[in-house]
Amino acid sequence: LKLHAYMEDVGDFDDSLSLADKVALVNKSADVSYLIDEQSTEPQLSAPTLYSIPSWLVFGIYFIVLPVSITLINEKQNGTLTRIKTYPISTTHYFSNKALSYAMLSLFQWCVLSIVGLLLVPLFTGQSALIINNIALYVLAGIFIVFSAIGFAFFLASLVNTYEQAIVLGGGVNIILAALS
């Protein structure tokens, strides 16, 4: 009624229109169904699937920070690194092999978490599947995240001296990265 009165006052109606035509014009002016009835031809991805899978992947991969940093702190404290220097192996070779072994474990974990996130989560929750448009970029991102997690674990182990410090810093960064991702 207010819209009808407003349209009447501003002169939107032609004097020759009947009351039914004026009501139809008011209804047409107030109709917003075109905003909500529009059907998209592309499949709609649900927000929980779309946003939770990448964050859980990063969260899961960065969990390797805790065992790696704690292992390195343990080796530093019990003298293992000093004994390694007496063997015919360079510390670079030793740490490279250690980093590669953790990276292989993390890459396996990336694959498992990807399968769970891309196939099982949509299957069990009835949500749309997350579509990866560029698989090479997805794999490259996985490799980057794995090696950044391993590098961060080594960096963290070189900064702190106790398990508690590693757990607080490593766990805190893990939660922050998961929230940001």
Give the up-direction half-sphere exposure of residue 3: CA atoms within 13 A in the CB hemisphere.
Answer: 10
Q: How far apart are CA 174 and CA 64, in angstroms?
A: 10
pLDDT in tens, the chain (181 residues): 777 677 777 777 777 888 888 888 888 877 777 667 555 555 555 555 566 777 788 888 888 888 888 888 888 888 887 888 888 888 888 889 989 999 999 999 999 988 888 888 878 877 777 778 889 999 999 999 999 989 988 888 888 888 888 888 888 888 887 777 6
Residue 92 CB coordination number (10 Å)? 8
Q: How far apart are CA 4 and CA 12, in angstroms?
A: 9
Q: How far apart are CA 69 and CA 91, in angstroms?
A: 17
CA distances from 129 to 56, 105, 120 (A): 15, 26, 9
